[in-house]
């Protein structure tokens, strides 16, 4: 009896392991059904939260807003001829309250003056109109870029893209993740066909420079010098333009504000559970700020090593693009849960590779886990489980595994070709052929 039960349990366990290892059940049609259900739940939850914040059901007793107010207030100050006040917290907070309501929670502004060029344009519009224009325009660009990466044009693909849990988070917080992901995705799409334009898109990430730490590593390792030069020139032009428009004093005040920004991230002003990088992981696990910054330094080196290896070996475009987008958040000194949409660029490239070349064991399950994690990673982190950083590590392991697979295939193909070539070049071969 016991042996029979043990055999049955062993068979069930083996079946479950196979289901996770190969995920043959996760086919496109079924994925569309799951994504549709998830999207419906997310839309319902999103509308509920909006209704609550608008006091439809209950009175919250305090004013609420989104992170977008930080951008809008900075733009208003810039348009008023005082761009440097975007880095004065008292003046910036006053502008935030004027744009929305008194008593809102303060949202920091640590972006460089290059971002003021965008914020100032948005601040010409009324607040809610500017919010909708920015989020909708960047979301449309994001969807188009991801669809192009996936090489799929059906509505089922759009549903899957919109169902990614980081999408409603980005919309709800009024953040710029869609813009960052669109630039990353667009640049990787153009890299091999039009490196100059790819470099321009990479350079446009100067508005969020910590997301671009690994871009020079990738382009240099891959000898993509045209893209490298184009990106550097784009950054220089944007910086010079911001200097011409807002002056050197604004840049000086930005540097001063940035130098003190670590206090906000080391304290409770910014939720450590909302972070997706090694710094946030260590803080969630009760580590000290010094230990967290040390771990972040190790993560930057490790991520740079993976990206440099993949690009140096001239592996396929999907793998190069996935390594860069997948490592970006792990390496960024500041990366929050709404930035996870950038990671979907990496997921999309890996899905494209899997469809064309076949998925490797455990790959589908790992990508599904990365897809789901943003749904509740912030709340799981409050239980001292840094799910988002762990998901990014898993994603890098998937990339490394596929890189090894590509190198094995390349080696096998070379082994098949080289003997024939060697014979053809050999004097003995020539004689024998004669």
Residue 312 above 70 pLDDT? yes
Residue 355: inside a domain: yes
pLDDT in tens, 423-433: 333 333 333 33
Q: Which residues contact 190 (CB under 8 A, 6 or more apart)?
A: 197, 198, 201
- State both tokens at 334: 């500041």
Residue 433: what pLDDT?
A: 32
Residue 422: what pLDDT?
A: 40
User: What is the number of H-type helices and E-type strands within the chain?
Assistant: 22, 0
Mean pLDDT of the chain: 90
Residue 255: inside a domain: no
pLDDT in tens, 154-199: 888 999 999 999 999 999 999 999 999 999 999 999 999 999 999 9
Measure the CA–CA gap between 372 and 101, rounded to whole angstroms.
35
Measure the CA–CA gap between 226 and 426, rounded to whole angstroms.
39
Indicate whether this model's pTM tops 0.85: yes
**What is the count of structural domains for the chain?**
1
The burial class, CB within 10 Å (0-12 / 13-18 / 19+), for 181 is buried
Residue 111: inside a domain: no
Residue 430: what pLDDT?
A: 30
Residue 32: what pLDDT?
A: 85
pLDDT in tens, 208-258: 999 999 999 999 999 999 999 999 999 999 999 999 999 999 999 999 999
Residue 335: inside a domain: yes
Residue 65 above 70 pLDDT? yes
Q: What percent of the chain has pLDDT over 70?
A: 90
Contact between 73 and 92 (Cβ < 8 Å): yes
Residue 387 above 90 pLDDT? yes
Measure the CA–CA gap between 246 and 81, rounded to whole angstroms.
8
Measure the CA–CA gap between 251 and 356, rounded to whole angstroms.
47
The DSSP H or E segment spanning 114 is: helix 113-122
N residues, the chain: 434
Residue 63: inside a domain: no
Residue 276: inside a domain: yes
Residue 356: inside a domain: yes
φ/ψ bin of 267: left (φ > 0), alpha (ψ from -120 to 50), beta (otherwise): beta
- State both tokens at 275: 């972070």
Residue 307: what pLDDT?
A: 98
Q: Which domain holds residue 401?
A: 270-408
Residue 11: inside a domain: no
pLDDT in tens, 102-159: 989 899 999 999 999 999 999 999 999 999 999 999 999 999 999 999 998 888 899 9
Q: Which residues contact 230 (CB under 8 A, 6 or more apart)?
A: 195, 196, 197, 198, 199, 200, 202, 203
Residue 43 pLDDT class (50, 70, 90 cuts): very high
């Amino acid at each position: 009896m016991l042996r029979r039960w043990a055999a049955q349990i062993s068979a069930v366990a083996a079946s479950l392991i196979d289901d996770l290892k190969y995920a043959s059940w996760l086919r496109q049609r079924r994925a569309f059904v799951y994504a549709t259900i998830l999207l419906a739940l997310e839309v319902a939850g999103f509308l509920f939260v909006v209704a609550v914040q608008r006091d439809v059901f209950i009175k919250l007793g305090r004013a609420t807003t989104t992170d977008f107010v930080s951008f809008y207030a900075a733009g208003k100050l810039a348009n008023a001829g005082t761009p440097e006040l975007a880095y004065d917290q008292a003046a910036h907070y006053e502008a935030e309250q004027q744009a929305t309501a008194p008593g809102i929670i303060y949202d920091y502004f640590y972006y460089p003056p290059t971002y003021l060029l965008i914020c100032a344009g948005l601040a010409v519009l009324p607040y809610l109109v500017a919010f909708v224009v920015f989020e909708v325009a960047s979301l449309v660009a994001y969807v188009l870029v991801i669809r192009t990466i996936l090489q799929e044009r059906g509505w089922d693909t759009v549903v899957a893209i919109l169902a990614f849990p980081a999408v409603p988070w980005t919309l709800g917080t009024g953040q710029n993740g869609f813009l960052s992901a669109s630039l990353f995705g667009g640049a990787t799409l153009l890299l091999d066909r039009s490196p100059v334009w790819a470099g321009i898109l990479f350079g446009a990430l100067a508005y969020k420079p910590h997301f671009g730490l690994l871009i020079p590593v990738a382009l240099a390792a891959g000898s993509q010098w045209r893209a490298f030069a184009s990106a550097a020139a784009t950054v220089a032009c944007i910086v010079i333009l911001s200097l011409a428009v807002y002056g050197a004093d604004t840049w000086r005040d930005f540097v001063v504000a940035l130098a003190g920004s670590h206090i906000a991230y080391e304290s409770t002003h910014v939720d450590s559970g909302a972070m997706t990088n090694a710094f946030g992981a260590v803080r969630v696990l009760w580590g000290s700020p010094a230990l967290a910054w040390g771990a972040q330094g190790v993560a930057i080196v490790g991520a740079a090593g993976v990206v440099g290896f993949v690009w140096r070996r001239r592996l396929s475009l999907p793998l190069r693009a996935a390594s860069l987008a997948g490592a970006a958040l792990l390496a960024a000194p500041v990366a929050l849960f709404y930035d996870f949409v950038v990671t979907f660029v990496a997921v999309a490239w890996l899905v494209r590779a899997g469809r064309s070349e076949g998925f490797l064991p455990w790959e589908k399950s790992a990508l599904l886990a990365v897809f789901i994690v943003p749904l509740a990673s912030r709340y799981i982190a409050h239980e001292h489980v840094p799910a988002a950083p762990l998901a990014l590590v898993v994603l890098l392991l998937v990339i490394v595994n596929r890189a090894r697979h590509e190198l094995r295939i390349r080696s096998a193909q070379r082994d098949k070709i080289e003997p024939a070539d060697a014979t053809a070049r050999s004097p003995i071969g020539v004689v024998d052929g004669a």
